[in-house]
Structure 1
């Protein structure tokens, strides 16, 4: 059988890390699949060139593996050309780069490693929220530039204590964000499709609000909802303008939830205090993506869910799914995004 894995390239330079954890998410680590597959006579193709993967390897692949950080966008047309394809795996969480409905119609299972990134992404969200509120990146840049202009930084630096933080999406990541914010003595509001019970709300220290009310009342908003037809463009110009003047927005969900050009406009006008997150559209973001140069941002490439610890979790999940596939066993139920209809 032929397995194709499209992963992000390995580092240009050697890095020293004393944890002993391997870089499994890159092409050089190959998710730890090489020994598993090659010892049993299967073919494993690992590459970072997504166009080449679609052009040269998709047609005869039985299993196609991609990631949210370096996604291969698989359209219905792509999937129709893959006559042998039976399984698409996402090494991580979030398979919106795959046309899951078309896959199911074509008899292809789509799965991901549910829960593998929740700790890592929640920590990243809180880090970026604090970076915005405390005006951290401009302060750091002063050090790099050899400056010492305290007033320039202090004029837009705040305590997070007593602020109201809105969380849009209260799944596993949203819940962990709320729990991590409890120690900062903030007021947490949340919105999600299915309201949590009173016991859960007490544990998370969060109160449910309808989305428009949450937007109007929050000093900062964190987006942690999945990309769906309902959430695509959810934060358009109208909703961004409805946010409190000077408030902050953090997006660790998906880039398309926020209108690209409208975000640039509200930051350039000074309506928002800043924007952070690590999700873009498309990914990787092109060099001329307008978010790269807009004012007041603290963006990172899509790295939140691929810490060394997260890589061990999603690599183990991929290995488990591959083993089950080879043995003819069903995948873990909570991993399955779409199954053949």
Structure 2
């Protein structure tokens, strides 16, 4: 029997919900690529409920305990003596979400002598040291595509919020004011702007498709060029690198994995080549941008706005400079954890567990590391350094 350690974010401050704003969710059975949504043998939760917090338990307890496995759920993941560190030592399977990452460092992986499987409930396994997982024979899997459209929608929302100066205008209402000039002095139309994405994978391409109806001019860079018919359909301009693309863009959105080629990409040097007054949206990984360089660019006016919901570390400390820098639209890491997305990534997590316990291959789309090497989606998206 296996010990499963699940690290989830805390329940709402007012307690676990007893009712919800909506009674149901739209039924989605496949993603834009044609990949089918998660298909576990069964689920023990109601879609649309809060599953990603501690009390939600990703809907896994009944399934695991009926099969004789042990489930430990905690939100305590950081600092000396955390529950995560104590329980990890004899854990077989560890589950974490990108939004509340339990970082699987080389030291933690080496100390977890029984660890065989690391699951990301959602997309993005950058909080797992893949080199260490490969070295120690740990399988890494994620519920690829389960929340990609959720993130893409968040990117579009943030883009419009920054360009139209929505958040400060809403604050005027909350403060009892009505000065229209204060609201529109930084408000523009998105129409006609040049918008570029760094990476055009599942999320990046979904962003491009959702922004096309705004009559913007779309550009992209990616290590893999999109098919000609897609470029033609959306009127895309391809650039070999981010450095080539960003000088042409009014809005840049970052949708790339974190790896050696992207870490620290948006520093002082690259930001200086952007149009003065451009907007930067980053829902990918905080370390793709230089924290202090972004703040400097906002204060100098080089950037007109920055929005994202990824931070380093996570959760961000109260004195993190991104909380107080001007013209930002930051959120905690929520873009991929809507109640709709949670239903999919909870079901996908169960699907992965069902396959693993039964000795069946995990879906190729869900594989990141397997058999001591990058596999499936991981082989397409990531690189290793050893």
The interval holding the TM-score normalised by the smaller chain is over 0.9
Of the three residues 306, 331, 344, the one matched with 1:313 is 344
2:368 is the counterpart of 1:337: yes
Which of the numbers 151, 158, 164 marks the counterpart of 2:194? Answer: 164
Counterpart position of 2:294: 263
Q: TM-score, normalised by structure 1?
A: 0.98
Q: What is the aligned counterpart of 1:181 among 211, 217, 222?
A: 211
Q: CA deviation at 1:205?
A: 3.2
Q: Is residue 247 of structure 2 the alignment partner of residue 213 of structure 1?
A: no
CA RMSD of aligned residues (A): 1.1
Return the match for 2:56 from 12, 15, 29: 29
Matches within 5 A, 1:5-16: 5-13=6-14, 14=17, 16=20
Decide whether aligned partners of structure 1 residues 119 and 2 sit closer, same or farther in structure 2, where only a CA change above 3 A counts. Answer: same
Note if contact 2:74-2:84 (Cα within 8 Å) is conserved in structure 1.
no
Provide the rounded CA distance (Å) in 2 between the counterparts of 1:203 and 1:253. Answer: 25
Gaps of 5+ in 2: 25-47, 373-386
Q: CA–CA distance in 1 between the matches of 2:71 and 2:301?
A: 50
Contact in 1 for aligned 2:4/2:94 (Cα 8 Å) = yes
Which of residues 246, 255, 260 is equivalent to 1:224? 255
Q: Report the CA distance between 1:287 and its aligned residue.
A: 0.7
Q: Take 1:201 and 1:106, find their aligned partners in 2: how far apart are those partners?
A: 41
Q: TM-score, normalised by structure 2?
A: 0.86
User: What's the offset of the Cα at 1:200?
Assistant: 1.6
Whole-angstrom CA distance in 1 between matches of 2:279 and 2:243: 16
In structure 1, the residue corresponding to 2:224 is in which secondary structure?
Answer: coil
**What SS does the corresponding residue of 2:140 show, helix, strand or coil?**
strand
Structure 1 unmatched ranges of 5 or more: none
CA–CA distance in 1 between the matches of 2:303 and 2:23? 39
1:204 aligns with 2:205: no
* Separation of aligned partners in 1, 2:52 and 2:193: 37
2:23 corresponding residue in structure 1: 19
Post-superposition offset of 1:148:
1.4
SS at match of 1:338: strand
Q: Show structure 1 runs of 4+ deviating over 3 A.
A: none
Give 1:54's aligned residue.
Answer: 84
Partner of 1:138: 168
Q: Per-residue CA shift, 1:228-278, capped at 9, x if unaligned? A: 110000111111111101110000110000100111111111111000111
- Asked if structure 2 preserves the Cα contact closer than 8 Å seen for 1:175 and 1:204, the reply is no
Partner of 1:298: 329
Contact 2:123–2:143, Cα closer than 8 Å, also in 1? yes
